[in-house]
Amino acid sequence: MIGRARRLATWIAAIMFAVMFALFVYKIVMRYAFGDAVAWADELAVLLFMWVIFWGYAFVVPDREQIAFDLVYRALPVTPRRVAGIVRAVLVGGLLAAALPTICGYLLFLNRTQTAVLRWPVGWVYSCFAVMIAAVVARSAVTVVRLCGSAWEREL
């Protein structure tokens, strides 16, 4: 179930990237061959870039692949590592959870403004940021539950 959802999310991200690249090619051809600066393609490419980052971080990139300074963490014996994992998930997940309601409120507020070219409501366009925050909060919660449970060693 989760595996299938992640595959779907990966496909969506890959397609977003491919469309972003196609927009670049289209834009370059239009500009140099026809002298037409297609500003909408520029804007859409930037927005796709932002979605690839946050969508990808929320649903595609596995935790172990992320760039972390884990020299200390990995050197710990298992029990302190379990504690460190719980503290980390509570600290980071907690702070992001604390910020999430304000972020969502602010995004709704931003819907009063529109993007420069496509005239899309900014709040929805930027909503990938809230999606990423929510995903990290959810993942942190799962980590805490698992590390506190009986099968905690599998989670390390």
Partner 1 sequence: MHASLGSIVLIGVFVLAAVLGSPVGLAMLAGGIAYLLVTHQDLGLLVDQTMNSLYSNYVLLAVPLFIFVANTMNASGVTDRLLDLSSALVGRFRGGLAQVNVLSNLVFSGMSGSAVADAAGPGLIIARMMVRKGYEPGFAAATSAAAATIGPIVPPSIPMVFYALIANTSVGAMFLGGLVPAALMALSLMAIIAVLARRRDFPREAPIALGAWPATIGRAFMPMLLPVILLGVIYSGIATPTDAAAIAAAYALVLAYLVYRSARWPEFVGTLVQTVHSTANVGMIIAGAFVFNYAIASENVPQALQAAIIHWNPSPLLFLAGTNLLLLALACVLDAITMLLVLIPLLVPIAVSLHIDPVFFGVLVILNMMIGLALPPHGLLLYVMSSLTQTPVGAIFRNVLPFIVALLVVLIAVTLVPDLVLALPRHFGYRG
End-to-end CA distance of the chain: 22
**Residue 45 Cβ, how far from partner 1 at the closest point, in Å?**
6
Using the minimum distance from each CB to partner 1, give the nearer residue, 67 or 151.
67
Least distance (Å) between residue 20 CB and partner 1: 8
Whichever of 117 and 145 has its CB closer to partner 1, that residue is 117
How far is residue 96's CA from residue 137's CA, in Å, rounded to a whole number?
6
Find, among 67, 66, 86, the residue nearest to 76 by Cα.
Answer: 86
Number of other CB atoms surrounding residue 149 within 10 Å: 10
Spatial separation of the C-alpha atoms in residues 107 and 112, rounded to whole Å: 9
| Site for partner 1, rule CB under 8 A | 10, 13-14, 17-18, 20-21, 24-25, 27-28, 32, 42, 45-47, 49-50, 52-57, 60-61, 63, 65-74, 84-85, 87-88, 91-92, 95-96, 98-99, 102-103, 105-107, 109-110, 126, 129, 132, 136
